[in-house]
Amino acid sequence: GAYLQAIENANEALNAYIVTTPEKALEMAKASDARLAAGNGGALEGIPLGIKDLFGTEGVHTQAASHILDGFKPHYESTVTANLWADGAVMLGKLNMDEFAMGSSNESSYYGPVKNPWRAKGSNVDLVPGGSSGGSAAAVAARLCAGATATDTGGSIRQPAAFTGTVGIKPTYGRCSRWGIVAFASSLDQAGPIARDVRDAAILLRSMASVDAKDTTSVDIAVPDYEAVIGKPLAGIKIGIPKEYRVDGMPEEIEKLWQQGISWLKDAGATIVDISLPHTKYALPAYYIVAPAEASSNLARYDGVRYGLRVPGKDIVDMYENTRAKGFGEEVKRRIMIGTYVLSAGYYDAYYLQAQKVRTLIKKDFEDAFHAGVDAILTPATPSAAFGIADQEMNSDPVKMYLNDIFTVTVNMAGLPGIAVPAGLDSRGLPLGLQLIGRPFDEETLFQTAYVIE
Ligand code: GLN
């Protein structure tokens, strides 16, 4: 009830929720109360959550914040949300995001931008919450839900978490089922939580994760009790500091934050070692080939026949064209064009195949570091704090926007787990985050080390 009231008061200003589901929330809360009274409550009994609009929710608005999915209400429930409901969580509504999860500022949504609840000291400029899970991050930061689901293809959980002072974890590829989540780039997409603190993120991820026969890339490795590692000392843990993440033009404040994080981990008993991840600089360009290539293929299904919007034409091909021309936004069209170009005969070897080779090298860099005994890697989460909505510089050049992902995409390319944790404020009073990257399926070490930083 209190959350529904808070949403009513604040959502118009923030635009974090696209739709709310108050009746469903009350009905689920009632069922939850009954289970608790009967003494058979689940791990998340009665916890009110916001759900990113990318997750299929049965009978409820699921449009990936796109015009092309107008009116789409799936007849299925994604595995991740089904897992949450099975543990007793309550759905408050669907959260805003960049259209089809393509973006770093939540400005590509058909439903308009989300406002970051944070502002710089003494300023009245509205800031972006980051993207693509901007609605999830803003709703958690503004207390419009107790936690939220999000997805991360190239940073979309960790960058918005960093911009809003919240915690976001992208688990290992395969930890959560992708079934029932609108696909962007299938070899990179992973679901994870955005939460107020490390403990909440640990509790939520445990519930979201599962092996699933409906997603053959989900992996059958037991999901540990992540909460159990919180507060454990860091003795025996080795943290790698990759020199390649010290990029040109990185603000001094970010460098200082990084140093601060290093000393916190050292004080908690960790050993710090310098490492090298030599192929880091190729990650961003390779990502912006692989992700659009897969997106162009995944988005071919939106043709005006099967889902949502249909714009009539003189014949079926004309109808396809009209629907896609009207239904997709500018950024989505850009990705489809890049994707079809890099996959086309004659260019495939030069772009897509090359990018896949780079991807293997990036993965090997991390494997070498882990073989040398490193347990986790500490980096900044983003190269800057949140920027303004409709920022001239960011919006004049798509590549500038893509640079937001410079510290996060490597992790998706290698399929590794990564967590963003709030680590302090910049001189304008805006939150900054650090990132910890772990071994495959070792989310535990990330929760353990991130807890020391938050
Ligand atoms: N900003 C990146 C992109 O636009 C990441 C998106 C994501 O992780 N979903 O592709």
Q: Tell me how far the alpha carbon of residue 157 lies from the centroid of ligand 1, in angstroms.
A: 9
Residue 372 neighbours by CB distance under 10 Å: 11
Per-residue pLDDT, 120: 97
Q: If pLDDT is split at 50, 70 and 90, which confidence band does 394 have?
A: confident
Q: If pLDDT is split at 50, 70 and 90, which confidence band does 401 have?
A: confident
Q: List all residues 6 or more positions away from 337 whose beta carbon is below 8 Å from its beta carbon.
A: 296
pLDDT of 1 above 90: no
- For the segment 343-371, the average pLDDT, to the nearest whole number, is 96
Taking CA atoms, 82 is separated from 52, 79, 207, 405, in Å, by: 14, 5, 10, 30
* Domain tally, the chain: 1
Mean residue pLDDT of the chain comes to: 97
Question: Looking at 108, 109, 132, 133, which residue is catalytic?
Answer: 132
Tell me the per-residue pLDDT of 207-250, one tens digit each, with 9 for 90 and over: 999 999 999 999 999 999 999 999 999 999 999 999 999 988 88
Ligand 1, atom 10, residue with closest C-alpha? 102
State the CATH number of the domain containing residue 211.
3.90.1300.10
Per-residue pLDDT, 208: 98
What global pTM score does this model have? Answer: 0.97
Does the beta carbon of 104 sit less than 6 angstroms from any atom of ligand 1? Answer: yes
- Pairing state of beta strands 431-438 and 418-425? antiparallel
Lowest mean pLDDT among 4-8, 51-55, 135-139, 326-330: 4-8
**DSSP SS3 for 435:** strand
End-to-end alpha carbon distance in the chain:
29
Q: List all residues 6 or more positions away from 344 whose beta carbon is below 8 Å from its beta carbon.
A: none
pLDDT of 395 above 90: no
- For the segment 429-435, the average pLDDT, to the nearest whole number, is 98
> What is the residue range of 312's domain?
1-454
Q: CA-to-CA distance for 342 and 26, rounded, in angstroms?
A: 48
Q: Residues of the chain with pLDDT > 90: what percent?
A: 95
Q: If pLDDT is split at 50, 70 and 90, which confidence band does 356 have?
A: very high
Q: If pLDDT is split at 50, 70 and 90, which confidence band does 320 have?
A: very high
Active site residue 104: no
Tell me the per-residue pLDDT of 360-372, one tens digit each, with 9 for 90 and over: 999 999 999 999 9
Q: Which atom of ligand 1 is nearest to the CA of 404?
A: 1
Q: Tell me how far the alpha carbon of residue 10 lies from the centroid of ligand 1, in angstroms.
A: 27
Per-residue pLDDT, 247: 84
Q: CA-to-CA distance for 110 and 106, rounded, in angstroms?
A: 10
Per-residue pLDDT, 371: 98
- For the segment 387-400, the average pLDDT, to the nearest whole number, is 89
Q: If pLDDT is split at 50, 70 and 90, which confidence band does 397 have?
A: confident
pLDDT of 303 above 90: yes
pLDDT of 51 above 90: yes
Q: List all residues 6 or more positions away from 57 whose beta carbon is below 8 Å from its beta carbon.
A: 51, 74, 77, 78, 81, 91, 94
Does the beta carbon of 103 sit less than 6 angstroms from any atom of ligand 1? Answer: yes
Per-residue pLDDT, 129: 98
Question: Looking at 156, 210, 296, 384, which residue is catalytic?
Answer: 156
| Residue to mutate, 55, 107, 132, 413, ligand 1, most ligand atoms under 8 Å from C-beta | 132
